[in-house]
Amino acid sequence: MIDYSQFPRKNILCVDMKSFYASVSAVTRGLNPLTCYLAVVGNTERQGSVVLAASPALKKDFGIKTGSRLFEIPEDPRIHIVNPQMKLFIRVSTEITKLFYRFVPEKCVHTYSIDESFLDAGKEDPEEMAKAIQSSMWREFGLMCTVGIGDNMLLSKLALDLDSKKTKSGIARWRYEDVPNKLWKVHPLSKMWGIGGRMERNLNRMGISTVGQLAKFPLELLEKKFGIMGNQLVRP
């Protein structure tokens, strides 16, 4: 058994704006971001243009998602196809970051991308903070967010990516103690934050197909194959 008492334990929130580009585009048009059919496309004049974001309903009912092509979107009068408004997206993202400052000090916010941030909740109840952020986000911006909570940044990100979107509340929490039961069974490996398709293929060729197998694989062999990256794979 691993003694987790010696591990640094924080209350980290990883907040992700749900279908950010599509949701912001919907709200500015007076549409409900959860129920409308809307796709943000790189260039609406080019049939081969890529879908940059799709509303949840468009994904669910029509199978259109990020990476789909414009020509794949059905000709349906209910579907809104719009160009990206990057200045608007950046402005809204900046305002959302300011909202976070009402919950934690500025130094405790790490902006990971335009639609995702990490917050250190300190000694505050992280689950109550997550609920309050969700409520404020919907009330002030008309946007939904999901939240992963973890003992460190990695666990909060994994809770976000692998669990939060499956829960009714949109909130999930992972502790160190959850790793063997929740993380080790994860496959394909590309579901793991930090492992891309190329690395996944290399690991598969070594007989590693789950995170658990990776965790138990001899470190010296990983370092021999991947150098310093081999160490980082199991000691993020």
- Number of other residues whose CB lies within 10 A of the CB of residue 236: 14
CA 160 to chain centre: 6
Do 150 and 175 meet the contact criterion of CB atoms below 8 Å apart?
A: yes
Catalytic residue among 116, 127, 177, 200: 116
Helices (H), the chain: 20-28, 56-62, 86-100, 126-141, 153-162, 197-205, 211-216, 219-226, 228-234
Residue 116: active-site member: yes
Give the span between the Cα atoms of 103 and 229, in whole angstroms: 35
Q: Which two tokens stand for residue 27?
A: 């709200």
Reading the block at residue 168, the tokens are 């009714």
Rg of the chain on CA atoms, in Å: 20
DSSP label at residue 41: E
CA angle 73, 74, 77 (to 5 degrees): 115
Q: CB-hemisphere CA count at 13 Å for 201?
A: 2
Indicate the helix (H) or strand (E) that contains 51.
Answer: strand 51-54
Q: What angle, 0 to 180 degrees and rounded to 10, lies between the N-to-C axes of helices 126-141 and 86-100?
A: 140
Catalytically active residues are 116
